[in-house]
Amino acid sequence: MVEPDILFVTAKRASIVGEEAIHGAPDLVVEILSPSTFYNDLRIKMNVYGRFGVQEYWIVDPEKETIEQYRLAGTKLELARQFASEATLESTLFPGFRLPVKTIFQ
């Protein structure tokens, strides 16, 4: 079992959210890198999230001030895009959602 830093379940899938646990894969998982979790976040957790059907996985790197966006392809999460500090993150999961990356690191 793995525990993400942040997770999101869309309203149409809210039925998987129980009082004490989520019974299914969240739509989005966000991990914030730190030296102690780097390997787990990039390898172990990513493989688990892909196998269980997480649609998007964002890795936030405070040191580089970047966000890597991975999308599910079959049972694997594949890098879709890397957003630098001056970029604006967009997601196919959330049409119309736009997040200036620099606001995350201010």
**pLDDT at position 43:** 81
Residue 61 lies in a domain: yes
Query: What pLDDT digit, counting tens, does each position of 40-88 carry?
Result: 777 889 999 999 999 999 999 999 999 999 999 999 999 999 999 999 9
Question: What gap in Å lies between CA 70 and CA 57, rounded to an integer?
Answer: 5
In a domain, 62, yes or no: yes
For residues 92 and 16, give the distance between their C-alpha atoms in angstroms, rounded to a whole number: 21
Is 83 inside a domain boundary?
yes
pLDDT of residue 39: 73
Q: Is the pLDDT of residue 35 over 90?
A: no
Strand 56-61 versus strand 66-73 pairing type? antiparallel
Residue 15: inside a domain, yes or no?
A: yes
Whether residue 1 lies inside any domain: the answer is no
**What single-letter DSSP state applies at residue 43?**
I
Give pLDDT tens digits for 17-30.
999 889 999 999 99
Q: What is the pLDDT of residue 90?
A: 96
The beta strand positions in the chain, using DSSP E, are 6-8, 28-32, 56-61, 66-73, 76-83, 88-90, 98-100
Instruction: Classify residue 10: in a domain, yes or no.
Output: yes
Q: Which residue has the tokens 């196998």?
A: 51
Residue 44 lies in a domain: yes
* Domain with 93 in it: 6-104
101 near 67, Cβ under 8 Å? yes
Residues 81 and 67: their CA atoms lie apart, in Å, by: 8
Owner of token pair 């379940």: 9
CATH number at residue 38: 3.90.1570.10
Total structural domains within the chain: 1
Whether residue 3 is predicted with pLDDT greater than 90 in this model: the reply is: no
